[in-house]
Amino acid sequence: MAAPPSPLGLARRVSGAGAATPAAAWSSSCRSRRLRPRLLPSKRWSGVVRMGAAVGGEQEGEDEEVKLAKEMAAARRRWETLIREQKIKTLTPREAGYTFKLTDKVLLDVRPSNERQKAWVKGSTWIPVFDVDTSFDLGGAGKKFTNYVMGGWWSGSSTMTVNKNFVQQVEEKFSKDTDIIVVCQKGLRSLAACEQLYGAGFQNLFWVQGGLEAAEEEDFEREGPQPFKLAGIGGVSEFFGWTDQQRAQAVKEGLGYRLIFTGRLVGALVLVDALFLGAQRIGPLLQELQSR
């Protein structure tokens, strides 16, 4: 009987933003469960599926999607069991914020560096469960290119590599009886991290459901240039303000916020139009020069 996939391996392959078949299957299967779909948001899940093809998947196409769906289902059952049996306790972002401020519990941020550098909780400890792949070998370059072509240019998603020393680094920082609140951007990677830590003997683990994207600014004391909700977006969609997070932000910020992205879009259209007109004029000139 094959061994179940490791949570970090699954998180890498499905980690870090259109909806793929496994994402739809996940949302449908957990809709009636106590753990709502916020556990694994469908849009984030689809971006992670694309990342899996670039990071760890040797198979491609439908077979890989079927395999991924099975692994997701197995991980979901394990995580639900851990939460149902209170081996991992659940906190909302607001509860986590109050708990972190008023008690001696530590807050462990397991997000990759590209999200952490945009916004982080003041006083939190950062140990990524996986991080941006910075390798420059031929294989790494191929994965980065595949990830970019398969949607990275739009969503800003990066290829990721598992932090194989994650548990060891946490053990070096905290004792096994430390109360640890584990958080990521959307809740998937932190839950995978909790499973790893629980398996290593950590008993007092608290998982932040929905991650920092579900938090309001007043829930935590933030440091960094971006709101928590925008730390996980990137690419062309972020530049033009076409992400769901930015649309929600625009409702709060008002017209001025919308005008920033409207100006970017108008500027891009003007630039494209100028390049097109320039090409039309340069073409005849080049032909004339060649005829001489």
Reported as a single tens digit per residue, the pLDDT across 139-149 is 777 777 776 77
CA-wise closest residue to 72 among 32, 42, 117, 105:
42
Residue 232, pLDDT above cutoff 90? no
Whether residue 171 sits in one domain with residue 276: no
Whether residue 191 sits in one domain with residue 68: yes
- The dihedral region occupied by 98, where left means phi > 0, alpha psi between -120 and 50, and beta the remainder, is alpha
User: Domain total for the chain?
Assistant: 2
Whether residue 252 sits in one domain with residue 181: no
- Does residue 11 lie in a domain region? no
Quick check: 73 and 29 in contact, CB under 8 A?
A: yes
Q: Which of 68, 170, 182, 184 is catalytic?
A: 184
Percent of the chain with pLDDT over 90: 41
The pLDDT assigned to 239 comes to: 74
Task: Give the whole-angstrom CA distance, residue 196 versus residue 12.
Answer: 14
- Does residue 48 lie in a domain region? no
* E runs forming strands in 18-164: 88-91, 106-109, 120-121, 125-126, 130-132, 160-162
- Does residue 235 lie in a domain region? no
Whether residue 246 sits in one domain with residue 222: no
- What's the pLDDT tens digit per position in 83-129? 999 999 999 999 999 999 999 999 999 999 999 999 999 999 999 99
- What's the pLDDT tens digit per position in 157-188? 777 788 999 999 999 999 999 999 999 999 99
Point out which residues pair with 90 in neighbouring strands. 207
* pTM for the model: 0.68
Which band of pLDDT confidence, cut at 50, 70 and 90, is reported for residue 259?
Answer: confident
Task: Give the whole-angstrom CA distance, residue 201 versus residue 238.
Answer: 40
Structure tokens at 207: 């998982």
Residue 82, pLDDT above cutoff 90? yes
- Does residue 22 lie in a domain region? no
Residue 47, pLDDT above cutoff 70? no
- Does residue 1 lie in a domain region? no
Whether residue 180 sits in one domain with residue 114: yes
Residue 62, pLDDT above cutoff 50? yes
Quick check: 228 and 118 in contact, CB under 8 A?
A: no
Quick check: 132 and 86 in contact, CB under 8 A?
A: no
In 3-state terms the chain splits into helix, strand, coil percentages (rounded to 5) of 55, 10, 35
Quick check: 15 and 51 in contact, CB under 8 A?
A: yes
For the question of residue 194 being annotated catalytic, the response is no
Range of the domain at 270: 241-281
Structure tokens at 146: 């595949």
Structure tokens at 77: 């059952």
Whether residue 214 sits in one domain with residue 79: yes
Whether residue 189 sits in one domain with residue 68: yes
The pLDDT assigned to 225 comes to: 93
The pLDDT assigned to 157 comes to: 73
